Structure 1
């Protein structure tokens, strides 16, 4: 058979625009491999691209397209000039700006491949190749250790889950912010010292009662009013690390900004060039991918996964954008 099943997007718009179709199976070109996909990662960026929202770092794809940029599975074919030793190996790869992951088969350059470490399944591996590498990149700016108090937003999400684990591993105290009792329970089970539902009234008072001296690091992936409130829970000299804005941009009044400056609180936007420059290597993304996979292989980081069948990609997108998921969302053909 020269066909496969894949998710296709013919027009930018809602999740319902994602359709499950039969399409030609891709053929690897020179230096490429074809992967029989076992797990495909779903990213918040995928949602913006599906909606047609232009923004860094990925350009809008040409339509029709098969979304998805993170895959793990078995190499079933190699292109001209590609090392045949890859055949039959279980691998994971980030496809970069090239879409094509939401499918039974995907092609990519052999230079993007990582062998899946022993002890990890493909869903865990695909979580670490994207979400894991971003987490390790964010942590370059955190300076966590004994005596630190980390305030982590979206603590039951893919990145938040890993941040909680890392902070506990290095001896920090963890205050997890999550939406709803089910998510705060997950954060507690994941090791958080205090888990607070930030959709309730007076949640900040609960944090302040337990940690009157304030947190030393705020991991901010939500922005909006939650971030504004969380900034009031920081200790003098704390670091505000911005790695997302799922609730919208954070806007501060001049007085609020003056207050942060007076308290010595610094804000760092840690995605993009800043993250790559901090790695200090010729191929910083691959360095972060390698580190992330190694952390999972040793068990120091344990990715949380929420799985959907490939055919239910639209439902997965809807759940992710309405905050109905925990951990990393993964599609499985």
Structure 2
């Protein structure tokens, strides 16, 4: 098979498309002929050797990627034979290997795909979709809500805008550049603003004044100056939900934080909703979040946006992510 292998930590160019031996499934496992493999911003940090929710590889070369969809083409010993030939999607967990034509995982991680759900969309929902629903556990959205979504043209941002609109909330989507702002507007946001333009907070404040409301929740995946400006839009009792810091200078910079004194003075709350706290909120049922996300896509309740790259151009996909040149979920197609 062909796969993307990382031989040394460093820039995107270190991702090499090359021929490797076909993997074989072990006991209780399946092999998937991959039709779509997910790429996450975290992958770019792991490529450089950084640590995060998933540890950086300890042995190189390695095949990155933890989200795949395709067709089961081989079974390991003791695996239910009914999986053979089925279209499936799986999150590979702590074991990478997704950037490849073939990937192996435990049968317990599989979800069968309905006929009308494409592999690329399924990959978007098994990771990005489940994270979105995990984030939404920490708030209640309704007609009284005013949700501010930075990075609203990204994979999670797209789904948050849709979910909030479905719940009846007033949605303000922030994105970088006219093309992304147009996508956010098409996705249903009540106001779409370019947060790379000076004075964007004043534009949002004028809009809020016009509807006589203040923001009630900020879904913050960017941090930095943009995240802080978004938090400044919150009214008393507002929520700041943190699940990333892509605009704060990289993984090492950390998320936007506030002291207890600042929060008390503002009358708001701020909490990080990723990792163990999200899993605990879900009662440990990560698979339940996956099922709910896939069902939302299958029924059309949520419509993931997908940005496709050829598998051979994984380096280009990483560069585009790092340069904020993508919209929706980035997916590699063998």
TM-score by length of 1: 0.95
Flag as ranges the 4+ runs of structure 1 deviating above 6 A.
Answer: none
Aligned pair count?
326
1:297 equivalent in structure 2? 298
Within the candidate set 36, 39, 42, 2:39 is matched to 42
Q: Name the structure 1 match of 2:114.
A: 117
Unaligned runs of 5+ in 1: none
Question: d(CA) in 2 for partners of 1:330 and 1:299?
Answer: 20
How far, CA to CA, are the matches of 1:55 and 1:252 in structure 2? Answer: 18
Deviation digits for residues 111-139 of structure 1, max 9, x if unmatched? Answer: 00000123210000010000000000000
CA distance in 2, matches of 1:144, 1:253: 24
Unaligned 5+ runs, structure 2: 249-253
Residue 164 of structure 1: SS of its match in structure 2?
helix
**d(CA) in 2 for partners of 1:125, 1:112:** 14
Distance in 2 (alpha carbons) for counterparts of 1:202 and 1:6: 45
Please name the residue that 2:278 is paired with: 275
Q: What does residue 190 of structure 1 align with?
A: 187
- CA distance in 2: counterparts of 1:225 and 1:211, whole angstroms: 20
- 8 Å contact 1:9–1:66 — kept in the other structure? yes
Alignment of 1:122-271 (within 5 A): 122-212=119-209, 213-248=213-248, 249-250=254-255, 258-271=261-274
Q: C-alpha displacement at 1:251, in angstroms?
A: 5.4
Shift of residue 56, structure 1, vs aligned partner: 2.4
Which residue of the other structure, out of 3, 8, 11, is the alignment partner of 1:6? 3
What is the alpha-carbon distance in structure 1 between the residues aligned to residue 75 and residue 55 of structure 2?
A: 27
Q: Distance in 2 between matches of 1:260 and 1:154?
A: 23
CA contact (8 A) 2:38 2:332 kept: yes
Query: Do 1:35 and 1:75's aligned partners in 2 also have CA atoms closer than 8 Å?
Result: yes
Within 5 A, what are the aligned runs for 1:8-87?
8-87=5-84
Does the CA contact (< 8 Å) of 2:244 and 2:255 recur in 1? no
For 2:147 and 2:278, how far apart are their aligned partners in 1?
19
Aligned residue in 2 for 1:309: 310
- Contact 1:228/1:252 (8 A) holds in 2: no
Query: Partners in 2 of 1:197 and 1:122 — Cα distance?
Result: 31
1:319 aligned residue = 320
The verdict on how the C-alpha distance between 1:224 and 1:300 changes in structure 2, with shifts beyond 3 A counting, is same
Q: TM-score, normalised by structure 2?
A: 0.95
In the other structure, the counterpart of 2:251 is none
Post-superposition shift, 1:102?
0.4
Closer, same or farther in 2 for the Cα pair 1:76/1:271, shift >3 Å? same
SS of residue paired to 2:16: strand
Please list the CA deviations of residues 10-41 of structure 1 after superposition, one character each: whole Å capped at 9, or x if unmatched.
00000000011000000000000000000000
Contact 2:50 2:56 in 1 (8 A): no
Aligned CA distance change for structure 1 residues 252 and 285 (closer, same or farther; 3 Å):
closer
Distance 1:201 1:269 in 2: 28
- The offset of 1:250, in angstroms, is 4.9
Match in the other structure for 2:286: 285
- For 2:112 and 2:328, the matched residues in 1 are separated by 23
Task: Give the SS at the match of 1:93.
Answer: strand
SS of alignment partner, residue 66 of structure 1: coil
State whether residues 129 and 289 of structure 1, in contact with CA within 8 Å, keep that contact through their aligned partners in structure 2.
yes
Residue 22 to residue 122, structure 1, CA distance change in 2 (3 Å)? same
Q: CA deviation at 1:60?
A: 2.9
